[in-house]
Copies of this chain bind each other. A is one copy, B any other.
Amino acid sequence: MERALQDIVKVCCYGCGALNAHGLQIKSFWAGDDVVCAWRPQPHHIGHPGILYGGTIASVVDCHCIWTASAYAHRAAGVEMDGALRYPYVTAALTVNYRKPVPIDQAIDLRARVVDFGERKAIVQCKVSSRGVLCAEAELVAVRMPVSQPVAEASA
């Protein structure tokens, strides 16, 4: 079975790190030209009763879009992710537009795509759905971090 990007390169980030036992541990996968993620909130991730907290939506979107940018950069360069990130990115700006309340007791589905890609910067758009209903849309500006050699973030 295909491995999640976050299981190929294990980092310590609260949102996406396989090495962060307290974190959200999202798992992102290529799906054609998109990168997708299904993530199940815990009951305490509520905003209002029964409703997933918007800050947590922003969090999973942030990480998922950053992995989308990095995966895209690797694919564009014809380089496999193989335990290290040759093209790591950080978030310069994140915008989330919240359309509908998201039920807390369901997984949410994220679908992201790079819509603009330059030498230093990538723009990633992401849709967040619950049971097929679009609940939020986001755009993230990802900036590539300079690396002298490929590194696993977790070892930094």
A→B interface (CB under 8 Å): 11-15, 20-23, 42, 44-49, 53-56, 58-60, 62-63, 90-98, 153-154, 156
Given A14-B47, A54-B62, A94-B98, 20 further pairs, Cβ under 8 A: A11-B48, A12-B48, A13-B46, A14-B46, A14-B56, A15-B47, A20-B44, A22-B42, A22-B44, A23-B44, A48-B156, A53-B59, A55-B56, A55-B59, A55-B62, A58-B58, A58-B62, A58-B94, A93-B97, A95-B96
Q: Is the interface of A mostly helix, strand, loop or mixed?
A: mixed
Contact A95 B93 (CB under 8 A): yes
Which residues of chain B are within 8 angstroms of A60 by Cβ–Cβ distance?
55
Q: Which residues of B contact A94 (CB under 8 A)?
A: 54, 58, 94-96, 98
In the complex, how many angstroms separate the beta carbon of A113 from the nearest chain B beta carbon?
A: 20
Quick check: A96 and B93 within 8 Å, CB to CB? yes
A-B contact pairs, 18 of them (CB 8 A): A11-B48, A12-B46, A13-B47, A14-B44, A15-B55, A20-B46, A48-B153, A48-B156, A49-B153, A53-B59, A55-B56, A55-B59, A55-B62, A58-B94, A59-B59, A93-B95, A94-B94, A95-B96
Distance of A61 Cα from B44 Cα, bound (Å): 19
Q: Are A91 and B95 in contact (CB under 8 A)?
A: no
Q: Give complex CA distance A25, B20 in Å.
A: 21
Residues on B with C-beta less than 8 A from A92 are 97-98
Chain B CB count within 10 A is highest, among A47, A55, A58, A60, for: A55
